[in-house]
DNA sequence: GCCATATGAATGAATG
DNA sequence: CATTCATTCATATGGC
């Protein structure tokens, strides 16, 4: 969750009060607990296309972020690695998963579904090479911006599974042999 | 997160997504709530030795389980992660909690315990119909990678930031143009 | 209602 | 890069 949406009164480093280190919770110096500002900046960078910062960039970013709280370059390094990997993984999963969920009926939903899928799939603008700096302003073309994030998604589809009615019965043989 | 759903005031980790709900309990949306059948199958798989399904397997499992209700592959993924981690944790805890002494299993009091432990311990049979997936390997500490040490530490300097002062203003300076 | 526990979800940190 | 481990947060539940 990158989102840090509204605000959460929470735990994480909130920063708010504490200054540097893991703020609020007073967690020990175990692992880096990014403050919301740090996350925000990192996210912006990521969104503006940075995916694999060079050692140099890492240093710089880290150094800037240290203004908001304790941070080491490796944290920045890992952050990008993880963020990138998870984005990919999520995407991969959503792609394969969501597919047939709404077998029967509801054309409309299919449309919506496609739209979502699209969104999920498309955002690959990756402008890799640097010189980024996200001047927070323009967000590229109106297209996506980011709306969707994690694989979470709302596939709030009601369960229309088998319920008695038709249903094609997907070979269900829970006999684990399907693996 | 910018929720698409529009509601779900979430905070951090939550994720929220409006999920549909799931068949069994009819819980509201929010997080996946596995049906008993789903849990049963997952448990069986786990007991039969599967601990870290590959992406492919996750996909298949998820797809099979969708017969019983809404489910996404990430749910399967998390389920195994958590289950494995908790088993490990439990074991670790036992080791610490019950330091030495009754290795020679006594009788009762620890019955429940033993039962659990047993369950936990026994599944080494790993009979997979499946091909690969790593049999649990050991964790062998030590072996440090120099690579990572690249980021040698700018380490733990306590925060000398600007604590007391107010720093809310994330104001600019986020001029990441420094990169 | 409140608290304890179980478990889904997220993510920092590694390792190969 | 992909995967995995450890921790931690958040929510669902059941008991009282």
Q: Protein A68 CA to nucleic acid C2 C1', in Å?
A: 37
The model's pTM is 0.65
- What distance, in Å, lies between the first and last C-alpha atoms of chain A? 31
Contact A133 B177 (CB under 8 A): yes
Nearest residue on chain B to A77, alpha-carbon basis:
B151
Judged on CB neighbours under 10 Å (0-12, 13-18, 19+), A178 is middle
Residues of chain A under the 50 pLDDT cut: 1-27, 101-174
Q: Protein B117 CA to nucleic acid D13 C1', in Å?
A: 24
Judged on CB neighbours under 10 Å (0-12, 13-18, 19+), A164 is exposed
The answer to whether B20 CB sits below 7 Å from nucleic acid chain C is no
Contact A152 B69 (CB under 8 A): no
Helix (H, G, I), strand (E, B) or coil at A92: helix
Q: Protein B15 CA to nucleic acid C7 C1', in Å?
A: 15
The candidate with the shortest Cα–Cα distance to B2, out of B17, B13, B23, is B17
Structure tokens at A166: 């038709």
Question: Digits of tens for pLDDT over chain B (179 positions)?
Answer: 333 333 333 344 333 333 334 444 444 568 999 999 999 999 999 999 999 999 888 988 998 999 999 999 999 999 999 999 999 888 776 666 555 554 444 433 334 444 444 444 444 444 344 433 333 333 333 334 445 555 655 544 444 444 444 444 444 444 566 77
Chain B partners within 8 Å of A20 (Cβ): 158-159, 161, 163
């Amino acid at each position: 969750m990158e989102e840090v949406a509204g605000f959460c009164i929470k735990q994480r480093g909130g920063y708010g009060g504490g200054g540097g280190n893991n703020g609020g919770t007073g967690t020990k110096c175990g692992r880096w607990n990014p403050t919301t500002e740090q996350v925000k900046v990192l996210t912006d960078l990521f969104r503006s296309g940075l995916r694999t910062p060079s050692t140099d960039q890492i240093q710089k970013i880290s150094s800037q972020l240290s203004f908001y709280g304790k941070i080491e370059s490796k944290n920045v390094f890992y952050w990008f690695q993880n963020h990138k990997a998870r984005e990919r993984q999520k995407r991969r999963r959503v792609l394969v998963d969501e597919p047939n969920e709404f077998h029967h009926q509801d054309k409309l939903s299919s449309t919506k579904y496609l739209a979502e899928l699209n969104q999920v799939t498309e955002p690959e603008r990756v402008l890799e090479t640097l010189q980024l700096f996200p001047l927070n302003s323009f967000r590229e073309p109106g297209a996506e911006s980011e709306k969707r994030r994690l694989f979470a998604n709302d596939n709030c589809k009601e369960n229309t599974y088998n319920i008695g009615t038709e249903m094609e019965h997907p070979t269900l043989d829970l006999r684990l042999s399907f693996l």
